[in-house]
Structure 1
Amino acid sequence: MDSPSYAAHMGLSNSFSSLSSSVSSARATSSSSISKTYRQASTLFLSRRLPEALSTVLPLITPPPSDQPGGAFEPAPVARASRTTRIKVWSLYLTILNAIVELDSDEGKEAFGTQEWRALCLKVRDGEVWEEVVRNGYHGVEGDVDADVVINLATLLLTHAKTQAVNQKRLENYLAAARTPNLDISDRFKNPTKRLQSPAKGASNGADTPRDLNARVKILELYTLHALPRNNEWEYAREFITMSAVLDDERREAFLQALQSLQEEQEEAERREQEERQRREDAIRRDIEEARRLRAENEERERKRLEEERRERERRRREETGSEVDYGIDKTPSIGSSSRPGGKGKVAPPARKPLSKPVAKLPAKSTSSSSQSTSLANRASMVLANIRTLVEQLSIRFQTNPFVLYRTLAFIITLLLMLSRRNIREKIARLLGSSWDKVKATAGMGVKVSYI
């Protein structure tokens, strides 16, 4: 080898060595900074300072702004970190989001503000967080996402997503991309940022190591035993477990038994729910029938009461009409008006006329007294019936409108407060005394007139 070629070769080697050493030092510095920021965010999260923890971890997972509008996409700082650090950062971010979504409405709005808290909850419940992780941390490649991060994403969506359709679709895309290696390297030469993928992608994302195998089994468990059953894809889940090449016979049998148990539990829960719904409907139907029966009984009772009152009024009216006839017509003939058949038509002496009138009026007086006593009894029963009707109406009024009772109680309390004052009591006593004197004077005059 001649000296110029050797010198050029050595210069090129030294250039690559210096470039690799500078890249290694930059990665070490970046990894150290990311680890330091991760520890700060972890401390803030453990102390339940969620806004500070989120604001601390966001710079690690957010791509830096590009200087040029049409420049190449620059990934987030976490994409340059090691596999372990990257998994820790994304796991912490997803844990913080889970804690934020689990906050009460008032607490979340107070901590983050109404708009930001709703945006964070919507990002989790709609599954947009999965796209954010793939785009910012893994260059938009679905199959490059670390298995532990996929497990955390699937668990987060299983807990808070509105539906499991997005979760099922994302897991299917990941499983399909992880089984098929990406052999197209032309795009990596065109886009230099693709060269900054994680070091873990040098190995296969399948089940080459026990750790990868356990992660893949966990993902299959989330997909077949949680996501698919939530979407009522029981048969597809059973076929997927049967055809999976990752599961051995023992695990496949365990998965199938677990799936069968979940299906039976869901069917049992649906049956109990149906029975409970039917029980509630039957109870409501019985209550409606009982209410109708009671209403019919009340209407029948009210109709009978009104009919009885009508009959009672008619009876009292007939009795009062009969007593008035007894008072107006004298059925007993007077002695003075009678004459003997064979007599000469002499008129009885006038001295006997006063004696004949009281004798003739005795039957009418007894009849009038009996009718008066009956009329008083009827009137008393009518007064009692009216009082009973008044009490029933008041009870109904109090039940339908309790404010009437409150107004009555307020009136009674006001009256008692007024009577508690001495001057008012004395004034009322004077009024009652003067009224009572007038009543006694009127009664005395009536007695005198009756006596005369």
Structure 2
Amino acid sequence: MPGFEDPLSSSRMLSSSVSSVSSSRQASNIAKSYRQAAQLFLTRRLPEALSTIEPIIAPQSPAESPNGVQNGTHVEPAPIASASRGTRIKVWSFYLTFLNAVVELGPEEGKHAFGSTKWKALVNKTRDGSIWEEVVRDGYHNSEGDVDADVVIGLATLLLTHSPNQKLNQSRLETYLSATANPSFDIASHMEASLTRRHSNNNGTSTPRDLQTRLKLLELYTLHVLPRNEEWEYSREFIMMSEILDDERKEAFLQALYGLKEEKLNAAVREAELQKQQQEQLEQRQKEDEARRREAIRAEDERRKKEEDVRRQPRPTSSSNTNPSDPLNKRLASPPNRHTGSGPTTSSRPSRTPAKRPQEPPPNLYRRFTHLFAFFQLTIANMGQSVSSNPMAALRMMLFLLAFILAFARRDLRERVQRILRQAWEKVRRTAGMGVKVSYI
């Protein structure tokens, strides 16, 4: 009837209005949380930034029905799943940047800021690639093909930087590229997607920005991920078969791929040469050390040999220490002459050779007197032997000495001899003086 409104229509309008207000309020809360988390991140208050951003990217607790009854084990999706495309990209890009900063803190600073358990959990999800599964599950209703391309680029870059194995990164990118290879522009499919996610999601190349994003994904996949997995030939084939790349871009991608491969080969060659040089230097140092060690051993052997030669040399006897120029030593070394009536004659009996004495130091005044006394003693002994062996020669010697003493006992004879000696000395002195004057002239 006219004037009455349909109750069902009014209910739908009211529900739509409430839903619109709720969505608007939720979007406002997400934007506010994002701004606060970004501000905390810029001031390096990372734990506070994490606690601010987590409520909008984590699933909610089990929801209650309008009559207050729990809906079993059903878990509401994260608030970010129902946000607009721009908001989703901002929030997830911020979260990926935040995880990169957490990993770069290092173990000591990271554990101090978040605690050991929390920091290890954040680092592990970055290195093992589980962050990709978390983003797909909580932010895109577990539909990997619906993930925004900018978020995929962030995920691939994060894994490329911190993951030791790029197999998972390659698998995820291949799944995403396969799901978005033939984008659909059917309005019905977009309306159907809007019933589940309340937003339209276009990952194709319908706009220049979408094309640039798609090219960035291809660059990451073909020029970074596949080369890390040594998939050089597959990367080349993928570039050649790509429908997005034109001939000019294909040539540019192939040149970049060849450049990367050549650079890697050159790096491997340089590394091998560096290792070879290090090995040669190590061997050279070892040879030098060995040569120095042998030289030290040889020098030590020579020193010991010289010491042994010095110890083995015979010690010099007393005769070698005796000065041969000493008249006393000459007299001791030569046998005494025997005199006959007509003159000195050689004794028929050989003189005794003195026994060897131990090595003695060079003679001093005391030793000289000792040698003189021994000489007199030896002379007296020889005279005794001469008297016993040749009495006539001894008698003639005694008579000669007696005549010499009697002659010098006369005073006039002594004075005459002294005068003759003085005259001779005076002549010698004058002759020497004339020689000195002539040398001066």
TM (norm. structure 1) is 0.66
**In 1: Cα distance, 2:174 partner to 2:291 partner:** 60
Answer whether contact 1:80 1:196 (CA < 8 A) is retained.
no
Residue of structure 1 in register with 2:397 after alignment = none
Residue 222 (str. 1) matches residue 213 (str. 2):
no
Partner SS state of residue 71, structure 1: strand
Residue of structure 2 in register with 1:301 after alignment = 299
What aligned pairs does 1:92-103 form with structure 2 within 5 A after superposition? 92-103=94-105
Gaps of at least 5 residues in structure 1 are 183-191, 327-331, 340-356, 374-452
Answer whether contact 2:193 2:199 (CA < 8 A) is retained.
no
Could you say if the C-alpha distance between residues 262 and 333 of structure 1 is closer, same or farther in structure 2, counting changes exceeding 3 Å?
closer
Residue 199 (str. 1) matches residue 199 (str. 2):
yes
What aligned pairs does 1:164-183 form with structure 2 within 5 A after superposition? 164-179=166-181
Residue of structure 2 in register with 1:31 after alignment = 27
Identity %: 50
Aligned counterpart in structure 1 of residue 49 of structure 2, from 49, 53, 58: 53
Answer whether contact 2:193 2:200 (CA < 8 A) is retained.
no
**In 1: Cα distance, 2:225 partner to 2:261 partner:** 13
Deviation at 1:369, TM superposition (A): 3.8
Answer whether contact 2:99 2:122 (CA < 8 A) is retained.
yes
Residue type of the alignment partner of 1:368:
Q
Deviation at 1:146, TM superposition (A): 0.6
**In 2: Cα distance, 1:86 partner to 1:21 partner:** 23
Residue of structure 2 in register with 1:319 after alignment = 315
Answer whether contact 2:183 2:204 (CA < 8 A) is retained.
no
The structure that has the greater radius of gyration is: 2
Residue 212 (str. 1) matches residue 210 (str. 2):
yes
Partner SS state of residue 60, structure 2: coil
Could you say if the C-alpha distance between residues 138 and 90 of structure 1 is closer, same or farther in structure 2, counting changes exceeding 3 Å?
same
- Deviation readout 1:48-84 (Å, 9 max, x if unpaired): 1111111100001000122558533421010011111
Partner SS state of residue 265, structure 2: helix
Residue type of the alignment partner of 2:217:
I
Normalized per residue, the structure richer in helix is 1
Deviation at 1:177, TM superposition (A): 1.8
RMSD over aligned CA atoms reads 3.6
Deviation at 1:107, TM superposition (A): 2.0
Partner SS state of residue 368, structure 1: coil
Deviation at 1:218, TM superposition (A): 0.7
Aligned counterpart in structure 1 of residue 116 of structure 2, from 114, 117, 127: 114
Could you say if the C-alpha distance between residues 92 and 99 of structure 1 is closer, same or farther in structure 2, counting changes exceeding 3 Å?
same
Aligned counterpart in structure 1 of residue 251 of structure 2, from 250, 253, 259: 253
Deviation at 1:291, TM superposition (A): 1.0
Could you say if the C-alpha distance between residues 270 and 334 of structure 1 is closer, same or farther in structure 2, counting changes exceeding 3 Å?
closer
Residue type of the alignment partner of 1:266:
K
Partner SS state of residue 73, structure 2: coil
Aligned counterpart in structure 1 of residue 162 of structure 2, from 160, 163, 168: 160
Residue of structure 2 in register with 1:137 after alignment = 139
**In 2: Cα distance, 1:244 partner to 1:15 partner:** 51
Answer whether contact 1:75 1:193 (CA < 8 A) is retained.
no
Residue type of the alignment partner of 2:171:
K
Residue 15 (str. 1) matches residue 11 (str. 2):
yes
- Deviation readout 1:85-108 (Å, 9 max, x if unpaired): 111111111111111111133322
**In 2: Cα distance, 1:206 partner to 1:289 partner:** 67
Deviation at 1:236, TM superposition (A): 0.8
Residue type of the alignment partner of 2:37:
A
Answer whether contact 2:111 2:119 (CA < 8 A) is retained.
yes
Residue of structure 2 in register with 1:407 after alignment = none
Could you say if the C-alpha distance between residues 258 and 333 of structure 1 is closer, same or farther in structure 2, counting changes exceeding 3 Å?
closer
Residue 276 (str. 1) matches residue 274 (str. 2):
yes
Deviation at 1:209, TM superposition (A): 2.1
- Deviation readout 1:108-133 (Å, 9 max, x if unpaired): 22211222212211211111111111
**In 2: Cα distance, 1:79 partner to 1:98 partner:** 22
**In 1: Cα distance, 2:183 partner to 2:56 partner:** 28
**In 2: Cα distance, 1:65 partner to 1:76 partner:** 10
**In 2: Cα distance, 1:142 partner to 1:293 partner:** 68
Aligned counterpart in structure 2 of residue 105 of structure 1, from 104, 107, 122: 107
Partner SS state of residue 100, structure 2: helix
What aligned pairs does 1:68-79 form with structure 2 within 5 A after superposition? 70-79=72-81
Answer whether contact 2:318 2:360 (CA < 8 A) is retained.
no
Residue type of the alignment partner of 2:137:
R
- Deviation readout 1:286-338 (Å, 9 max, x if unpaired): 111111111112112212221221122111xx327x66999xxxxx99999xx
**In 2: Cα distance, 1:324 partner to 1:26 partner:** 131
**In 2: Cα distance, 1:58 partner to 1:323 partner:** 109
The one of the two structures with greater contact order (alpha-carbon pairs below 8 A, sep at least 6) is 1
What aligned pairs does 1:404-415 form with structure 2 within 5 A after superposition? none
Could you say if the C-alpha distance between residues 333 and 30 of structure 1 is closer, same or farther in structure 2, counting changes exceeding 3 Å?
closer
How many residue pairs get matched?
A: 331
Partner SS state of residue 206, structure 1: coil
- Deviation readout 1:125-169 (Å, 9 max, x if unpaired): 111111111111111111111111001111111111122222111
